Structure formats: structure tokens, C-alpha cells
Amino acid sequence: MTNTFDEKKLDEEIVQESRLILPSWCDRPSIEVAPDLIGCTLVRQLPNGPCIRSLIVETEAYAPGDPACHAYSGKSKRNATMFGPPGHSYVYLIYGMYHCLNVVTEAQGVGSAVLIRALALNTIPPHLTPKQTAKPHRIAAGPGKLCRALDIDRGLDGALYHPKNGLWLEHRKQPIDPSHIVQTTRIGISKAADRPWRWYLSGSSSVSKLAAKKVANT
């Protein structure tokens, strides 16, 4: 007898068991998805390594009409993934050495994404040096650091967030009180830096930078 398996059934089991975040959940404005990702889990199955689960503790939103958004000037080879379907990864390189991981949001053709700025890891990646792991809570305290820790590069650009790709998102295990999510302005940008489109988990020691001034949650 030939062995067969039901791929659709397998996907349904994965969704049920892992609380997998589906593309439809990401098909919303980035300023809605970004705060909702706080407290969710990013899971990375390292190639020939362990599976690392990380709590998302900081995000930033980039939206249509936003001068700081890579899609602001239109579609290009570098940002093409931003215009693709939601629920996929957009990975880009800055300063020629640091990768940044994003979640594509809104409908295909829009050009919208959420930058994952910081994570709290549950496991120390084995490929990091002693210097890089000297402060475990700061291993992924920044977009470049988290990509280094999870071995994420342009090879994952455009990948669907799904276990079969070794990178996926899971819903919160429990609700988070809105008062525990800080909303403030974005950092590390020169354009539209006054827009309050950065969110982070209050009290987390893995946040890249605490806010000098907070704004009321919307």
C-alpha cells in the first residue's frame, strides 16, 4: 500500500496545536497589527539546530503614505515583498551588515509592514559568541540583533510565516492588558519620526530602547 498524507489536514493540525497566525490575521493596517503582535511568539527552527521560541516585545508600523516606509516611493526590487500578500516575511539589509525582519500586512499591492524590533528568547542560540551572550536578555534587543540570533537573512525574504519554512508566528497564550503595552514614537529613522507607531511590552528588559515620552494608547 502506498503511504499518503493529507496536506490540508496536516496544516489544520498545525494551526490547532501551535496557535499559528494566518495570513488573514495580517490582512489589516500595520498600525493595528503592530500592537497586536506584542506578546505573540516568533518561532524559528534553526537550520541543523534547535527550535527557538521568542516573545515579541517591540514592534514598529510602516504604512502607505508614510515617508519612512520603504514602499513610499513605489515598488522596487528591494521592497517588492512589501507589496506581496500579507503574512509573509520582508527581510532587508541595512548598513551592508544588519538584517531586519518584518511582517507584511494589508492586501497584496498595498506596501505595508510591521518591523519586529525586539524579542525575549527562551533559548540561547548555540552559534553566538560568549561576548554576544554576555547579557542573555539583550541578545535580541534590536532588529539587527534578533536576526543575527535567529540566523535570519535575505534568504527568508518573501517566505510565508509557517512551520514548513522554519519561521512562524503564534498568537498570544493569554491576553495582555492594554495598559502593559507602551505606545511611543519610532526610533532610528529621520523621516516621520514623530509618528507614534512603536509599541513595546512594559517592564521587558529586552526592549531595544525605552521611551522618553509615552503617548496614550489608541
CA distance 151 to 39: 21
Residue 100 has pLDDT above 80, yes or no: yes
Q: Are 197 and 186 in contact (CB under 8 A)?
A: yes
Task: Kindly report the pTM of this predicted structure.
Answer: 0.89
- Which domains, and CATH codes, for the chain? 23-201 (3.10.300.10)
Q: Is 51 left (phi over 0), alpha (psi -120 to 50) or beta?
A: beta
Q: What is the pLDDT of residue 95?
A: 85
Q: What are the pLDDT digits (tens) for 125-156?
A: 999 999 999 999 999 999 999 999 999 999 99
Residue 144 grid cell: 539587527
Q: Are 178 and 97 in contact (CB under 8 A)?
A: no
Q: What are the pLDDT digits (tens) for 21-43?
A: 999 999 999 999 999 999 999 99
Number of helices followed by number of strands (H, E) in the chain: 4, 8
